[in-house]
């Protein structure tokens, strides 16, 4: 088995977990590779991670580390096993002390896969040329980069104007990302295996503007309308950003690639909601 490793060095205990993984791999004749952030922490020099030469990607960190790992795969259909060193860990499925057991279970075929749809976002200049295409598992966010003032957007769904939106920004999320920034902005929780895209205004300046759930194959175009403020940014999974000029257009659609997460045991999305987001009433939480 060929395993790629990605991690966030700022987490305490990562070096020890990495050493344990190296020993377990040697015992089971697994081939390891790692991204540059982990190279200095490994007890032995590991070859650089090549997404074309791995059967499993293991991320050590929080949900942000898993999102970064998904981008490193460059669209390859490689399963991702997330080991949680963070706080909430909504996407990661394994606690830090369960990494070795999870790897043995994966090698034995005792796991299930949870394919997730992702988003592809393109910023186009006024002449139609692309400023770059980005993959996002959670969300694409158009927002102010400077002074916090209202931005007015025109949003089109499959070419039909949704209507101008005055807000602090706009979140376009996948079902997996519905429990991230979109939820904080008032968007709905969407079961991650559903085929859909969520469009959520951030602090909309009208009670008549609410989040929308649209078909997964919808084409979403967004452009600011007059007055056109400067310093607009587009963020992808909250980790990468691109500038957004006064006459640029943001295009978002479902990606042809998917992200595959490793899960163990029975499906438990609603249990995750209860455990991570304290979903439900207070009856079973004590005094």
Q: Is 63 a catalytic residue?
A: yes
For residue 227, is the peptide bond before it cis, meaning its omega torsion is within 30 degrees of 0?
Answer: yes
Q: What are the two backbone dihedrals, phi and then psi, of residue 39, each rounded to the nearest 5 degrees?
A: -55, -40
Closest among 61, 58, 59 to 31, alpha carbons compared:
58
Tokens of 194: 């559903």
Residues forming a β-bridge with 199? 172, 212
Closest among 186, 185, 188, 181 to 214, alpha carbons compared:
188
Rg (CA), the chain: 20
Tokens of 116: 């997730």
The SS3 call for residue 221 is: strand
Catalytic residue among 35, 37, 55, 63: 63
Residue whose structure tokens are 């295996």: 193
**Exposed e or buried b for every residue in 1-13, given b needs 16+ CB within 10 A?**
eebbbbbbeebee
So which residues are the catalytic ones?
A: 63
């Amino acid at each position: 088995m060929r395993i790629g490793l990605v991690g966030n060095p700022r987490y305490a205990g990562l070096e020890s977990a990495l050493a344990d993984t190296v020993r377990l791999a040697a015992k089971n004749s697994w081939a390891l590779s790692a991204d540059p952030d982990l190279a200095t922490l490994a007890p032995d020099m590991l070859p650089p991670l090549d997404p074309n030469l791995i059967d499993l990607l293991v991320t050590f960190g929080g949900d942000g580390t898993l999102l970064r790992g998904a981008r490193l795969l460059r669209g390859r259909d490689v399963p991702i096993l997330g080991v949680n060193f963070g706080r909430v860990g909504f996407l990661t499925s394994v606690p830090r002390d369960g990494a070795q057991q999870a790897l043995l279970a994966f090698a034995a075929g005792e796991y299930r896969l949870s394919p997730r749809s992702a988003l592809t976002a393109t910023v186009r200049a006024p002449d139609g040329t692309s400023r770059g295409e980005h993959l996002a598992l959670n969300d694409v966010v158009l927002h102010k980069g400077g002074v916090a003032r209202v931005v007015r957007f025109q949003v089109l769904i499959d070419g039909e104007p949704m209507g101008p939106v005055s807000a602090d920004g706009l979140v376009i999320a996948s079902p997996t990302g519905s429990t991230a920034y979109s939820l904080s902005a008032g968007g709905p929780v969407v079961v991650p295996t559903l085929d859909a895209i969520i469009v959520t205004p951030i602090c909309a300046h009208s009670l008549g503007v609410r989040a929308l759930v649209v078909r997964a194959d919808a084409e979403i175009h967004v452009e600011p309308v007059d007055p056109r403020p400067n310093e607009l940014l587009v963020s992808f999974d909250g980790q990468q950003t691109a500038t957004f000029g006064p006459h640029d257009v943001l295009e978002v659609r479902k990606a042809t690639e998917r992200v595959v997460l490793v899960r163990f045991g029975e499906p438990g999305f609603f249990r995750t909601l209860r455990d991570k987001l304290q979903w439900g009433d207070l009856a079973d939480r004590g005094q």
